[in-house]
Amino acid sequence: MRIFRTVATGLLATLVGLGVAVAGPTTASNAAAKPERILTEVPPDGHQVAYNAFRLKGKVLNPQADGTTVPFQGKVMLTKKACKTCKFKTVRKVKVNDKGVFKTRLTVPARGRWVWRVKVKSNSTYKTTLGEKWTLFFD
């Protein structure tokens, strides 16, 4: 009886292992095959709107298979982090206009520094796109 259990367990383990191998690629490898959106941003350093605020303007385009681009329709997420080891947290979601342009306001902390970044979430066609990091602080 013990021999039967040992053999049955071994066969079951090999079948499960083969089933995992035959199942195919994971969703992580499928996400790598998706194209990224085109995200262009104008640096906020030249657009100060208040003593502690700057304007960030950008454009999001969806590349098509034939090489053309179409304006992104949806929302981009404005994220920030307060230190090097902190994670980025979503501050607000900004609507994109018909041309794929978004405008938002970045504030500067009274003490310390904040790092800002724009993020466009993935969908079934495109993978997550991250913008440049902008560090704002007072000297």
Q: How buried is 122 (Cβ within 10 angstroms: 0-12 exposed, 13-18 middle, 19+ buried)?
A: middle
Q: Please give the average per-residue pLDDT across 48-70, as a whole number.
A: 94
pLDDT of residue 33: 85
Q: Position 122: which residue type?
A: S
What is the C-alpha separation between 97 and 108, in angstroms, rounded?
26
CB atoms within 10 A of CB 45: 9
pLDDT of residue 90: 98
For the chain, percent of residues with pLDDT exceeding 70: 78
Q: For residue 117, name the pLDDT band (cuts at 50, 70, 90).
A: very high
Specify the pTM.
0.74
Alpha-carbon dihedral angle through residues 18, 24, 28, 32, given to the nearest 10 degrees: 140
For residue 45, what pLDDT band results from cuts at 50, 70 and 90?
Answer: confident
Domains along the chain with CATH numbers: 34-137 (2.60.40.1940)
Determine which of 2-11, 66-75, 126-135 has the lowest per-residue pLDDT on average: 2-11
pLDDT digit string (tens) for 20-36?
555 555 555 655 589 99
